[in-house]
């Protein structure tokens, strides 16, 4: 049984990843070449998929004793906590850079795209923190989601998506034959509606109205208003415009992840009429080392849904889980070209289901 010791310190690279978003700006200021502003985007969408091909997949698993030790090691919490101020530092620097400099349309577009794509990493950070039980982590999760104005996510994800995953009722599970461009129109509004329905029901059970101070969604939205308000006050109205434009790009990153994670997979109904318990086979998995380091093991999605309380450092590899052909960044690019996506993934899905449409979410 392999240990996780060497990997333990590699997570620090993930903490520092937001700083890559500044590399394009620095190189552009140094060499005055427009295309250098695209370096952070090329890093995410070309270099990481290339590294996934170069490095072997990571199939190491902790044993039960190691899992217990990993879960109790506070080092892994601090890896997450330290990433949050770095994210906000990068967020502020890029917004300020766009406000202060007159770059031209294409240059500004590349910086805004960088802001949105790397903002998606903050949503992933909020996802990991939001699964923890302590109040500090949950409040930091709201803050991580606030910069991208996605404050409803943790309620929707934890109490909605995890309950209904891989079923036709789940708006965050893509159906067979559904392109990502069709999926987004079902996923995003469906997620907002489900989050508010869940939170209003929780508050009602406590005898509280939806606008109560205990509304967890409003907590994160209030943080968004504070962050956007402060930056608008400091940098002007142009900063507000930049932040509002970048937010849908952040949302698109989550849509991209949701789309590939459960495409076409279906939990079966039992005799009681309820769906079977979520198992590793109900999530597409990827054990590519580099992209897993970037995403705090989000790609070990099969274990995450089978054991949602398990922290990122303890997530395991399942050989019998459905496997993606590459890491998430490469799969995002594939999803953005539906004919290629269907050619690759529909075959994998049909082979796994042995062409039985009763086993496929469609």
Q: Which residues contact 239 (CB under 8 A, 6 or more apart)?
A: 95, 96, 98, 99, 231, 232
Angle at 132 between CA 127 and CA 137, to 5 degrees: 80
CB atoms within 10 A of CB 302: 27
Q: Is the pLDDT of residue 4 over 60?
A: no
Summarize the confidence of residues 77-91 as an average pLDDT. 96
Q: How far apart are CA 228 and CA 95, in angstroms?
A: 11
* pLDDT of 6: 61
Q: Is the pLDDT of residue 1 over 60?
A: no
- The residue assigned the tokens 């052909």 is 325
Q: Which of 312, 323, 341 is nearest to 131 (CA)?
A: 312
Q: Is the pLDDT of residue 2 over 60?
A: no
Backbone phi and psi for residue 263, each to the nearest 5 degrees, phi listed first: -50, 115
% of the chain exceeding 90 in pLDDT: 85
* pLDDT of 8: 85
Sign of the torsion formed by the C-alpha atoms of 308, 350, 356 and 258: positive
* pLDDT of 3: 43
């Amino acid at each position: 049984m392999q240990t996780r010791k060497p990997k333990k310190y590699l997570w620090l690279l993930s903490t520092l990843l937001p700083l890559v978003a500044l590399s394009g700006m620095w190189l552009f200021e140094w060499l005055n070449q427009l295309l250098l502003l695209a370096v952070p985007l090329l890093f995410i969408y070309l270099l990481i998929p290339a590294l996934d091909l170069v490095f072997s997949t990571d199939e190491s698993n902790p044993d039960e004793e190691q899992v217990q030790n990993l879960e109790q090691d506070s080092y892994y919490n601090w890896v997450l906590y330290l990433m949050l101020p770095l994210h906000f530092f990068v967020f502020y620097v890029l917004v300020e850079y766009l406000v202060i400099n007159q770059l031209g349309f294409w240059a500004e577009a590349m910086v805004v795209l960088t802001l949105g794509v790397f903002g998606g990493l903050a949503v992933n950070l909020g996802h990991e923190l939001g699964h923890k039980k302590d109040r500090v982590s949950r409040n930091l999760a709201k803050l991580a989601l606030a910069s991208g104005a996605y404050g409803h996510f943790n309620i929707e994800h934890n109490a909605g998506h995890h309950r209904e995953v891989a079923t036709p009722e789940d708006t965050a599970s893509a159906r067979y034959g559904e392109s990502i461009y069709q999926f987004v129109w079902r996923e995003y509004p469906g997620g907002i509606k489900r989050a508010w329905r869940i939170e209003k029901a929780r508050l009602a059970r406590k005898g509280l109205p939806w606008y109560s101070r205990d509304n967890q969604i409003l907590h994160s939205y209030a943080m968004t208003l504070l962050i956007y308000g402060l930056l608008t006050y400091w940098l002007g109205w142009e900063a507000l415009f930049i932040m509002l434009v970048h937010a849908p790009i952040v949302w698109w990153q989550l849509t991209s992840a949701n789309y590939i994670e459960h495409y076409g997979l279906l939990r079966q109904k039992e005799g009681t009429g309820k769906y079977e318990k979520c198992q590793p086979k109900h999530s597409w998995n990827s054990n590519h080392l580099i992209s897993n380091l970037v995403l705090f093991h989000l790609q070990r999605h099969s274990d995450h849904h089978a054991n949602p309380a398990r922290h990122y450092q303890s997530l395991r590899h399942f050989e019998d889980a459905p496997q993606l052909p590459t890491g998430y960044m490469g799969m995002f690019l594939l999803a953005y070209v539906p004919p290629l996506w269907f050619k690759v993934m529909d075959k994998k899905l049909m082979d796994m289901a042995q062409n039985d449409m009763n086993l496929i979410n469609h």
